[in-house]
Amino acid sequence: MANVSDFLSLEKVDAHNHLNLGMRYASYVPWAGFYIPNFPRKMNGLGEMHEVIGQYTRNRSATAKDVQDLVTLSIKDAIADGVTILEGSFDISFVHHCSDSVDKYVELIDGIVKKFADKIDVRPELGMGKLFDKTKIDAWVPPLLESGIFKSIDLYGPEVEDGIDQFKYIYEMAGRLGIKKKAHVGEFSDAASVRSFIEFFELDEVQHGIGAAKDDSVLQFMKDRNIRCNITPASNVMLSAVNSLEEHPIKKIVECGIPVTICTDDLLFFNRSVSEQCADLINANVLTEDQVKAILKESVDSYKK
Ligand SMILES: [Zn+2]
């Protein structure tokens, strides 16, 4: 049996963490002032998750202080888990919470990064929802990228290719600025979609990407391009993207030689930290202890470069 304590003291990366939902439910409740009924619970896909977000969490964050508080809770829970590098996403919509001021949002993020700099390396990622107001994306994203605060970008929302051409220029701009290019794909979508997203946006890393495991030629393509998958096993089980942890395709992806990280996604909803998931994967006979430790070491070494 692997224990969580075996992994707490090891250096770790969390490269797939939505910082507004990245804290424990136990940390969230006292701050929010309410309980979410029957929660955390296994859900049937992203639709059910978004119902909870719409009914409970979204409305609870209305001000810049709320955003700061939520991100702070997430960072503190990452530190408690021994995460040393946190590449976490700050959603574009929170510019609204900063009086529609890009400068104020950048200032808020900069303050948070500096506040925790002696405890954890927080690398801000700009998170963009595919369904967010395109006029605001066009107005806010270029100055946000040019600010220099963001080390990576991520695109999420429905895993469809409709409308992704509207984001192409943003990925080209990120490329010119030396900002890492990531996108959510292959959580529920198939291997072909993973390949087409990587090619279309010239991605460096994929958030999820587990759909690629269904096609060996796509896995080989990712290995050849050295595309990292930032995988979130507990999230995949809780949202029913995989039937069980025992059947999780991370094993196949790792054994194909594709670099991966083990990440939390939304700790509020899925309640398994990086260290806990390391132990879970071993105890479910998905990966060996040596494989898990090699994943942690490779990801930390690679992110430190
Ligand atoms: Zn995610």
* Active site (annotated) includes residue 159: no
Contact 125, 90 (CB under 8 A): yes
Rounded to whole angstroms, how far apart are CA atoms 222 and 195?
A: 8
User: How far does the centroid of ligand 1 lie from the alpha carbon of residue 127, in Å?
Assistant: 10
Domain that holds residue 265: 5-304
Q: How confident is the model at residue 63 (pLDDT cuts 50, 70, 90)?
A: very high
Residues in the chain: 305
Give the predicted TM-score (pTM) of the model: 0.98
- Write down the pLDDT at residue 99: 98
pLDDT greater than 90 at residue 161: no
User: How far does the centroid of ligand 1 lie from the alpha carbon of residue 294, in Å?
Assistant: 23
What SS3 state is found at 43? coil
221-274 pLDDT, tens digit per residue, is 999 999 999 999 999 999 999 999 999 999 999 999 999 999 999 999 999 999
Q: How far is CA 260 from the centre of its chain?
A: 13
- Write down the pLDDT at residue 120: 98
Strand partners, 228: 205
User: How far does the centroid of ligand 1 lie from the alpha carbon of residue 94, in Å?
Assistant: 17
Q: How confident is the model at residue 305 (pLDDT cuts 50, 70, 90)?
A: confident
Give the mean pLDDT of the chain: 97
Q: How confident is the model at residue 302 (pLDDT cuts 50, 70, 90)?
A: very high
User: How far does the centroid of ligand 1 lie from the alpha carbon of residue 31, in Å?
Assistant: 23
User: How far does the centroid of ligand 1 lie from the alpha carbon of residue 232, in Å?
Assistant: 8
Among 253, 259, 254, 186, smallest CA distance to 216 is for 253
Q: Which residues contact 205 (CB under 8 A, 6 or more apart)?
A: 15, 152, 180, 181, 182, 227, 228, 229, 230
CA distances, 186 to each of 70, 206, 261, 288, 290 (Å)? 27, 8, 15, 24, 26
User: How far does the centroid of ligand 1 lie from the alpha carbon of residue 37, in Å?
Assistant: 23
Rounded to whole angstroms, how far apart are CA atoms 162 and 158?
A: 9
Contact 43, 291 (CB under 8 A): no
Q: How confident is the model at residue 162 (pLDDT cuts 50, 70, 90)?
A: confident
Q: How far is CA 52 from the centre of its chain?
A: 19
Q: Domain holding 27: CATH number?
A: 3.20.20.140
- Write down the pLDDT at residue 159: 86
- Write down the pLDDT at residue 176: 98
The residue from 187, 199, 255, 289 that is catalytic is 187
Q: How confident is the model at residue 191 (pLDDT cuts 50, 70, 90)?
A: very high
User: How far does the centroid of ligand 1 lie from the alpha carbon of residue 131, in Å?
Assistant: 15
Using alpha carbons only, what angle is made at residue 30 by residues 24 and 32, rounded to the nearest 5 degrees?
85
Structure-token pair, residue 302: 């690679």
Structural domain tally of the chain?
1
Q: Which residues contact 105 (CB under 8 A, 6 or more apart)?
A: 64, 90, 94, 95, 97, 98, 144
Q: How confident is the model at residue 160 (pLDDT cuts 50, 70, 90)?
A: confident
